[in-house]
Amino acid sequence: MADRLSNQPDLLVRPSRAASLLPLGALACGLGMLGSPAWGADEAAVSDPVTLPRVTVTAPDLPEQGRDGLQVTRTRIGKSEQDLRDLPQSISVVTERLIDDRNLDTLKQALTQTAGITFLAAEGGEEDIRLRGFSLQATGDIFIDGMRDPAFYDRDAFNWDRLELLRGSASMLFGRGSTGGAANQVTKQAYLMDGQQVDLTLGSHAYRRLVGDVNVVTGEDAALRLNAMVTKADSDGAGNRLDKRGLAGNFRWGIGHKDEFGVSLYRLENRNGMNYGLPWISPTATSAAADRTMISSLDPNASYGMASDRNVGTATTATFDHRHRFDADSALKTTVRRGAYSRDQRASTIRLCQQTTNPTTGVVTNPGCPTVLPTLDTFSDATVFTRGTQLKIQDLDTLQAQSDFSTRFEALGLRHEWVSGIDLAREEKVVYAASTPAGVDLTKPRTTAGTPDDGARIDEDARLLRTGSGFVNHNVGLYAQDLVSVAEGWKLLGGLRYDRMRGDFEQIAANGAGTRHEQKIGEFSKRLGVIWQPTARHSFHASWGSSFNTSGDSYSYNALSANTAPEQSLNTEIGARIESEDRQFTTRVALFRSVKTNERNTDPDTAATALLLSGKRHATGLDMDVTGRLTRDWDVYLSYMWIPDARVDVAAPTATTFGNRAGDRPGLTPKHSGSVWSSWQLTRALRLGTGVNFRSASTPADQQAVGAITSPGYGTLELMGEYAIEPDRTVIKANLANVTNKLYGASLYRGHYVPGAGRTLQVTGTLKF
């Protein structure tokens, strides 16, 4: 469980400092009164002026907002810390309190708490995230403290302060990116107070998780923070064995001074199992050939892969940052990060077994299996599954540097808030190809529906590995943005960014021969917005922004994609942010329209030299967040999205085996989606909570006949009870997730689906000292 120690705001002068000076000011005033003649003192005794020594008071570096509540008012998802009301774009924040309350361990779990999020179960097992129906890619749209986090790995929440989700175009801030938005993981930073916390969680499926957080003040302006995590489980409730550990350290010095420095080290190791999912099935023998659904009779926790399947990965990063404050209004922050990531995924693709005979050669495939595929009404424990092989073995190394300058000034009678900067990146990915050595049998045995987790294994380490491909990407980005106060309550935002990218890809054959492809791209991204703030509690906005994503976002090219220009997207939004009278409750609402104007398609001309950029699709809808404290003892969180209009406007000009047709509703775009959470402090010691995550019916993103494969809508219920043995020191909390053991598709693909976690019970003990 995430702890409740947090970062501190990046402010030169903090409100807490003024609060600390007030008692000293009152004391000085009182001493002056005692020394005045009115108090009967000898006038001669006070006639000589007394000069007191100068006293400097520095407030402690206090934990940040979001530690004990669901509401936040500031964000770091841009290039500097800003008030949410000054951003003309929708942002949802999963705070530390919400992470704690709902026992959120991973990025996927945290994103599920926000509306509009769905997941594609991609061929390589990656979690291709969708927001508003558009891709939010792991290689381009996930960030750590505002810097790209481009690797595929099982991200854990143990070192998070919170998760920020920016909805809509993000290329002006971050460069290449998709239409959906950007997710920013805000990490825990050292601060000037001692604090220690340990959380131990025990739960269903032999779940054990231990998280420790220690913050130590090492000097007048320096502190060290260490976070550690170990998690093990027979299953996460969705058939994935867990075995992971992490360690994160952050040392900061010069805190609150003109020059502030920080060094962070991070290491995460996963040796998890791998549940690749289950095949779709036809409802009946008379159903249309394309109609398929989920196998509703199976336990959500059932896994039919091999015991030797695995999802092993490491993430190692080292970050150095320096902030120079020129004055209270201007600062320059420079960050350098080196990252090394490894991934070794050995998965089994589970399919229904069917016997087929080659009409020419007479060769029989899958002898012993039925010649007709089973349907849902004939499915039984005796139904046979085959196990295919899906491997992803790769390394990624990154080196990034960015420098951001922010300032506030007046010019031509107008107030400006200026942000500009440069970022540089080099990303190198190596993909390994596997082969079976002579004389070694790595054939995977079949299994049946009645024998999940049968313990069958093969020697995956017997496979021979060689370099299959390599990709090197160099990127330079320059940007500038200005927020101008043009009149009382009115602000205009304008931003422009230019990215220069070069990608080099080499495909290496088994005989060592290589095929090279290169792509050079130069792209502008734009952002415009207007903000009206008639009061300190009301903010209304309208915005427009562009984004682009390249054919090299997956770190590979072919002869056509290397010659294809980036896809372009446009986002428009009208919204409002309104706070309650006491500022404890916030409502955010927005109407949006996202359009991809030139989606990549295959050219029917066999002599083509590039992919077509002829596709077009859009999504129009409403999203809203309601967060905060309705009363002193009642916290509420609501994230909801409604997309009544989503359509493929222009599809591929040639027939394909998969892909949406013109007029179809795009897959992974449910009309309704969201999450609700509410907790009540019944007594000083007892707190109760309940919540629901819900999605309406959806389809995979890349099937041809949309509606043929359907994942039914669902809602999962959660319950929480917390008892403080010693308030603010010793707490016991119990979480019951998916109370009704609902079967639902958490990730969808045209060939299979990955069920969500079934009913799980977890009990957490927290000790602070």
Q: pTM of the full predicted structure? A: 0.89
pLDDT at 79: 79
Among candidate residues 454, 140, 448, 85, the one with its CA nearest the CA of residue 298: 448
For domain 195-357+381-768, the CATH superfamily is TonB-dependent receptor, beta-barrel domain (2.40.170.20)
Where are any strands of DSSP class E within 375-463? 384-387, 390-411, 414-435, 447-448
Output the CA angle 72-75-79, nearest 5 degrees. 175
Mean pLDDT across 424-436: 97
User: Does the pLDDT of residue 62 top 50, yes or no?
Assistant: no
Q: What band does 124 get if pLDDT is binned at 50, 70 and 90? A: low
Note the pLDDT tens digit of each residue in 537-585: 999 999 999 999 998 888 899 989 999 999 999 999 999 999 999 999 9
Residue-level pLDDT at 26: 38
Residue with the larger pLDDT of the pair 331 and 657: 331
Q: Write out the two tokens for 566.
A: 């980036």
Question: pLDDT at residue 4 above 50?
Answer: no
Mean pLDDT lowest for which of 302-316, 377-391, 679-693, 700-714?
700-714
- Residue-wise pLDDT for 573-632, tens only, equals 999 999 999 999 999 999 999 999 998 876 666 557 888 888 899 999 999 999 999 999
pLDDT computed for residue 290 by the predictor: 79
Given a cut of 50, whether residue 47 has pLDDT beyond it is: no
Question: Quick one: which H or E segment has residue 32?
Answer: helix 15-34
Tell me what the mean pLDDT of segment 89-103 comes to: 96
Q: Using alpha carbons, list the distances in angstroms from residue 490 to 368, 541, 698.
A: 74, 10, 41
9 pLDDT above the threshold of 80: no
Q: Mean pLDDT, to the nearest integer, of 53-68?
A: 52
Question: Residue 283 above 60 pLDDT?
Answer: yes
Residue 748 has pLDDT above 70, yes or no: yes
Mean pLDDT value of segment 177-183: 85
Backbone phi, then psi, for 633, in 5-degree steps? -115, 10
Angle at 143 between CA 138 and CA 146, to 5 degrees: 155
Distance CA(401)–CA(403), nearest Å, equals 7
Of all residues in the chain, the percent with pLDDT exceeding 90 is: 76
**Which has more pLDDT, 290 or 212?**
212
pLDDT at 39: 37
| CB contact set of 369 (below 8 Å; sequence gap of 6+) | 353, 354, 355, 384
Is pLDDT above 80 for 161?
A: yes
CB atoms closer than 10 angstroms to residue 19: 10
Q: Confidence class of residue 659 from pLDDT cuts 50, 70 and 90? A: low
pLDDT at 35 over 60: no
Q: Report which secondary-structure segment, H or E, holds 592.
A: strand 585-601
Average pLDDT rounded to a whole number, residues 355-373? 92
Q: Which two tokens stand for residue 324?
A: 């120079």
